[in-house]
Amino acid sequence: MFFMIQERFIKIRSYIITFLCIITLNFFIPRLMPGDPFTFLSAEEGQIHTTFSYEDIQRYKSYYGLEQSLGRQYINYINNLFRGNLGYSIAYKEEVVTIIKNRMVWTLSLVVAAIFFSSLIGVILGSLSAYKRNTFLDKILYFDLIVLSEIPAFLIALLLLFFFSAHLKLFPLSGGISHFTAFTSFGEKAYDVLHHGTLPLLALILTRTGTFYLLTRNSMIHILEKDYMRTARGKGLKKGRILFLHGLKNAIPPVVTRIFLSLGSILGGAVLVENVFRYPGVGSLMREAVFLRDYPLIQGIFLIMTLLVIVMNYIAEILYKKMDPRVS
C-alpha cells in the first residue's frame, strides 16, 4: 500500500515538474518577442490610433511591472499565477481569466462533442470492421478512414465551409451565434448555436474518427483471436453479445486512454478550425492575441491549454490502471 502511494506520488511529481517547465518557458517566450505592446499600439493598425507619450509609456510600464528586472517579474508572475490571477489583457482591457473563461466554453464544448462523437463512431465502425475482417466492407472502411485521418482538419473545414455554407447556403458562414437577434425561447437559441456549430464539429469529427477506428480495429482483431471468444461462439451466444460484451469490454481500454490523450492534438486542430469559421473560441482569441502582441493573454491561453492537456494525460494514466487490472 505504501509502495503504491509512493509510486503515485512520483508520477504526480513528474507532471508537476513538466508543468513548472512549461510555466517558465511560457514566461520567457513572450518577453523575448521582437516589438513591444506600446510601439504596436502607437502605430496605425485598423481602427486603433492611439499615440502614447513617453510619460504614458513609463507609467504603463511600471503599472504592468514591465520595467522591473526579469527575475523579479518571474517571481511576481508565479506568485500571481498560484492566486489564479493571470493578469489583465493589454488589448482587451479586461481580466485574462474572464476573457478566456468566456471563450473557453465555446472551444471546450466543440472539442468535447468532437471527441465524444468521433470515438463513438470510431469504436462502432472499428469493431464492425474487425468482425468482418478482410471483407469488402472492411477494406472500404479502412481505406476511407485512413484517408480522412491524414487530411488536416482545417482543410476539411474550408471545403465544408465553401460547399455547404457559401455554395449551398445551408449553414451560417461564420461565428458561433447570430448577433443582434432576440431569441424568444431557449429552444430557438439552442438551435441557433447548434446550427453554427455543426460544420466545425463535423470537420473535427471527420478527421478524428480515423485514429479511434484504427485503434479499435487492431485491438478488436487481437481480442477476436483469443480462445475465450471461440468458447463464446461455441456456446452459441448471440453475435451482438459476443462482439460487444465479450469482445469490446476487453478491447476498449486502449481506446479510452487514447480519448484522453488525444486532447492535445484535437485542441490544435480546433484552433485552426475555429479560425476558418471565425468561431468565437479560444483558437480565434489566440490568433487575435498574437497579432496584438498581448503578452498576458497569449500566456494565459497557452497555459490553460497546457494545464488541460496535462490533467487529461494524468487521468488517462489512472483510468488505464483502473480498467485493465493486468497493468500494475
Partner 1 sequence: MKKIIQRILEFSLVGKIALIVIGFFIVLAIFSSQLSHYPYDLPSGAALQPPSREHWMGTDDLGIDIWAQLCYGARVSIMVGFTTAFLSVAGGGLVGVCAGYYGGKIDGWMMRLTDLMMIIPQLPMMIVLGAFFGPSLKNIIFVLTLFSWTAPARIVRSKVLSIKEEKYILVAKSYGAGFFYMIQKHFLPQTFSLMMVSFIQLISRAIVAEAGLSFLGLGDPTSKSWGLMLNHGMAFRGIYFTDFWKWWILFPLVCILTMVLAVSFVGKEIERKEVSSYGKTTTKG
Nearest C-alpha neighbor of 99 from the set 280, 308, 292, 322: 280
For partner 1, give the closer residue by CB, 248 or 259. 259
Closest distance of CB 245 from partner 1, Å = 32
Query: What grid cell was written down for 139?
Result: 477494406
Interaction between residue 29 and partner 1 (CB under 8 A): yes
Among 162, 191, 228, 241, binds partner 1 (CB under 8 A): 162
Interaction between residue 68 and partner 1 (CB under 8 A): no
Which residues does 146 contact at the CB level (< 8 Å), separation at least 6?
210, 214
Interaction between residue 32 and partner 1 (CB under 8 A): yes
For partner 1, give the closer residue by CB, 32 or 182. 32
Q: How far apart are CA 216 and CA 236, in angstroms?
A: 24
3-state secondary structure 201-229: HHHHHHHHHHHHHHHHHHHHHHHHCCHHH
For partner 1, give the closer residue by CB, 167 or 239. 167
Query: What grid cell was written down for 210?
Result: 480515423
Q: Which residue has the cell 476511407?
A: 144
Residues 268-307 that bind partner 1 (CB under 8 A): 268-269, 271-272, 275-276, 286-287, 290-291, 293, 298, 301-302, 305-306
Alpha helices in 68-177 (DSSP H): 70-82, 96-131, 136-150, 153-160
| Stretch in the footprint of partner 1 (CB under 8 A) among 74-82, 110-118, 239-247, 308-316 | 308-316
Residues that bind partner 1 (CB under 8 A): 14, 18, 21-22, 29-30, 32-34, 146-147, 150-152, 154-155, 158-159, 162, 165-166, 173, 264-265, 267-269, 271-272, 275-276, 286-287, 290-291, 293, 298, 301-302, 305-306, 309-310, 313
